[in-house]
């Protein structure tokens, strides 16, 4: 007899995806993030694919309707106005076919498209053929505009998805947000301000948006004028992985993937320029000042996900997991900049754990991968489908009923996950 009072974890996760579905796209969580976010949607597709493959493809196809003429796929698509969010479409002034922001986000869509395809290739072929050229053009936009020595750069902290990580502290200090003017934040009315970026950060976020808008989001002009340009492990490792996945999908479709193979080699070389020998870790590199961030972050550990097995990273991983109960923290707990609840300055994120765990497993670090899957599953079961978690206590933080945490449950930690999902 089933217990009618308590839905299973799978049922709860599916209900979150359906509840956050706005018709063709899924919001990360109602209130705090009321639009379609780029990498959140790719995770949503993974979650949907575990029970509705057709809906998974719709999520990715809707995201790609926002693609700009230059190939860029924006980080937010403002399909319908919502006064509960700042900065909205009027502040960004995106120049694409759908009102949007002017920056991109970690390109994980091709990688999750591959997982959706693997779950049901026959049902997926037509959608895949439609999106393949768009994904290829988006990846090429990164290659054309964002490389520094082969590593992928961000032009705004929001672009890496890791908004207030200490990785950007040096580059942010180089910005004087003069003339930013008055504005009203909305995020701190939805979530405890102690879990969100500070006003110091927000002034610089908005100043950078105003700069991009003034330059009409022209990448050549931004390359000249934007003081914020950081070669980032998140972008470099996710794009390298996404290019590998896109090449595999292209081969399945019988496409010519030789240009993608060339890009993979360039990105492999670029990834090595992120190795900070003094830190003995992959690190962010400020292209303007030439300085290292000096940060062991959860993005540092995406190397395995990108197919790079570095013995130094295994040592770092074992050190970090030995000093915190619920890894992987977004910043090293032994650093004086660690802040257990403040967004990307300490908390553990299910999505990053999933990418790290998938990589560990593929590189043969099976015990570490299984241990991470287990602790992440416990975090979600014991503390809910939160946006992120305190890595020391496990307590939920940020927004609740979160789409990508539900997706991570369904695709990676649930005992019922379908073959091909992870
Ligand atoms: C926010 O509004 O906090 C987002 O992270 C921007 O993408």
Query: Per-residue confidence at 422, pLDDT binned at 50, 70, 90?
Result: confident
3-state secondary structure of 379: helix
Question: Does the Cβ of 361 fall within 6 Å of ligand 1?
Answer: no
Atom of ligand 1 nearest to the CA of 85: 2
Compute the distance from residue 158 Cα to the ligand 1 centre, in Å.
6
Q: What is the pLDDT of residues 172-184, one digit of tens each?
A: 999 999 999 999 9
Q: Candidates 27, 29, 33: which one to mutate for ligand 1, based on the most atoms within 8 Å of Cβ? A: 33
Question: Does the Cβ of 142 fall within 6 Å of ligand 1?
Answer: no
Atom of ligand 1 nearest to the CA of 37: 7
Q: 16-24 contacts: CB < 8 A, separation 24 or more?
A: 16/385, 16/401, 16/402, 16/403, 16/406, 17/44, 17/47, 17/48, 17/403, 17/406, 17/407, 17/410, 19/401, 20/44, 20/401, 20/403, 21/55, 22/79, 22/80, 24/58, 24/59, 24/62
Question: Does the Cβ of 158 fall within 6 Å of ligand 1?
Answer: yes
Looking at residue 2, what is its pLDDT? 52
Q: What is the pLDDT of residues 19-78, one digit of tens each?
A: 999 999 999 999 999 999 999 999 999 999 999 999 999 999 999 999 999 999 999 999
Out of 40, 163, 167, 203, pick the active-site residue: 163
3-state secondary structure of 44: helix
Q: What is the pLDDT of residues 101-122, one digit of tens each?
A: 999 999 999 999 999 999 999 9
Query: Per-residue confidence at 420, pLDDT binned at 50, 70, 90?
Result: confident
Question: Does the Cβ of 163 fall within 6 Å of ligand 1?
Answer: yes
387 is a catalytic site residue = yes
Taking the C-alpha atoms of residue 415 and residue 176, their distance in angstroms, rounded to an integer, is 50
163 is a catalytic site residue = yes
- Close Cβ partners of 73 (under 8 Å, ≥ 6 residues apart): 38, 63, 64, 66, 67, 104, 107, 109, 134, 138
Compute the distance from residue 49 Cα to the ligand 1 centre, in Å.
26
- For residue 102, CA distances in Å to 61, 288, 372 come to 19, 21, 35
Q: Specify the DSSP element, H or E, that contains 36.
A: strand 36-37
Of 205, 86, 210, which Cα lies nearest the Cα of 154? Answer: 205
Decide if domain 5-413 falls under CATH 1.10.1200.10.
Answer: no
Domain coordinates in residue numbering, the chain: 5-413
Compute the distance from residue 319 Cα to the ligand 1 centre, in Å.
30
> Could you tell me the pTM of the whole model?
0.98
Out of 245, 286, 361, 387, pick the active-site residue: 387
Looking at residue 419, what is its pLDDT? 83
Q: Is the pLDDT of residue 83 over 60?
A: yes
Do the Cβ atoms of 349 and 408 come closer than 8 Å? no
Task: Report the relative pairing of strands 281-282 and 396-397 from DSSP bridges.
Answer: unpaired
Atom of ligand 1 nearest to the CA of 101: 7
Do the Cβ atoms of 402 and 28 come closer than 8 Å? yes
Looking at residue 6, what is its pLDDT? 86
- For residue 335, CA distances in Å to 252, 259, 297 come to 45, 41, 11
Atom of ligand 1 nearest to the CA of 32: 2
Q: Is the pLDDT of residue 3 over 60?
A: no
Question: Does the Cβ of 159 fall within 6 Å of ligand 1?
Answer: no
Q: Is the pLDDT of residue 370 over 90?
A: yes
Do the Cβ atoms of 390 and 347 come closer than 8 Å? yes
Looking at residue 407, what is its pLDDT? 98
Q: How high is the mean pLDDT of the chain?
A: 97
In this structure, the residue with its CA closest to atom 6 of ligand 1 is: 158
Looking at residue 384, what is its pLDDT? 98
Q: What is the pLDDT of residues 286-337, one digit of tens each?
A: 999 999 999 999 999 999 999 999 999 999 999 999 999 999 999 999 999 9
Starting at the edge strand found earlier in the chain, the sheet holding 230-231 runs: 147-148, 151-154, 230-231, 285-286
Q: What is the pLDDT of residues 145-179, one digit of tens each?
A: 999 999 999 999 999 999 999 999 999 999 999 99
Compute the distance from residue 358 Cα to the ligand 1 centre, in Å.
26
Phi-psi label, residue 302: left if phi above 0, alpha if psi -120 to 50, beta otherwise: alpha
Atom of ligand 1 nearest to the CA of 75: 7
């Amino acid at each position: 007899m089933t217990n009618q009072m308590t839905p299973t974890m799978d049922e709860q996760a599916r209900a979150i995806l359906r509840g956050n579905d706005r018709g063709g796209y899924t919001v990360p969580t109602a209130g705090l993030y009321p639009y379609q976010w780029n990498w959140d949607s790719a995770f949503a597709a993974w979650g949907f694919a575990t029970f509705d493959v057709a809906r998974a493809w719709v999520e990715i196809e809707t995201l790609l309707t926002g693609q700009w003429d230059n190939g860029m796929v924006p980080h937010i698509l403002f399909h319908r106005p919502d006064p509960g969010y700042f900065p909205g479409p009027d502040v960004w002034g995106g120049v694409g076919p759908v009102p949007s922001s002017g920056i991109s986000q970690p390109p994980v869509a091709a990688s999750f498209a591959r997982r959706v395809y693997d779950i049901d290739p026959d049902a997926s072929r037509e959608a895949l053929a439609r999106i393949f050229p768009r994904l290829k053009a988006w990846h090429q936009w990164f290659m054309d505009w964002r490389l520094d020595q082969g590593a992928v750069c961000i032009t705004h902290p929001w672009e890496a998805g890791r908004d207030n990580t200490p990785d950007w502290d040096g580059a942010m200090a180089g910005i004087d947000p003069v003339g930013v003017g008055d504005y009203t934040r909305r995020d701190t009315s939805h979530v405890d301000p102690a879990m969100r970026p500070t006003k110091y950060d927000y002034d610089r976020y908005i100043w950078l948006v105003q700069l991009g808008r003034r330059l009409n989001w022209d990448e050549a002009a931004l390359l000249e004028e934007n003081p914020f340009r950081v070669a980032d492990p998140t972008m470099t490792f996710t794009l390298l992985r996404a290019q590998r996945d896109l090449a595999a999908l292209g081969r399945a479709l019988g496409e010519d993937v030789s240009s993608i193979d060339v890009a993979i080699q360039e990105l492999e070389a670029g990834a090595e320029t992120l190795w900070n020998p003094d830190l003995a870790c992959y690190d962010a590199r400020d292209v303007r000042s030439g300085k290292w961030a000096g940060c062991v972050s959860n993005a540092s550990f995406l190397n395995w996900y990108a197919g790079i097995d570095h013995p130094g990273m295994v040592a770092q991983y074992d050190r970090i997991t030995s000093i915190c109960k619920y890894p992987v923290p977004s910043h090293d707990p032994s650093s004086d900049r660690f802040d257990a609840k403040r967004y990307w300055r300490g908390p553990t994120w299910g999505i990053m754990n999933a990418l790290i765990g998938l990589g560990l497993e593929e590189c043969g670090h099976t015990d570490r991968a299984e241990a991470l899957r287990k602790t992440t599953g416990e975090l979600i079961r014991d503390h809910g489908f939160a946006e992120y978690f305190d890595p020391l206590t496990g307590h939920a933080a940020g927004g609740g009923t979160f789409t990508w945490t539900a997706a991570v449950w369904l695709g990676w930690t649930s005992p019922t996950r379908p073959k091909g999902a992870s």
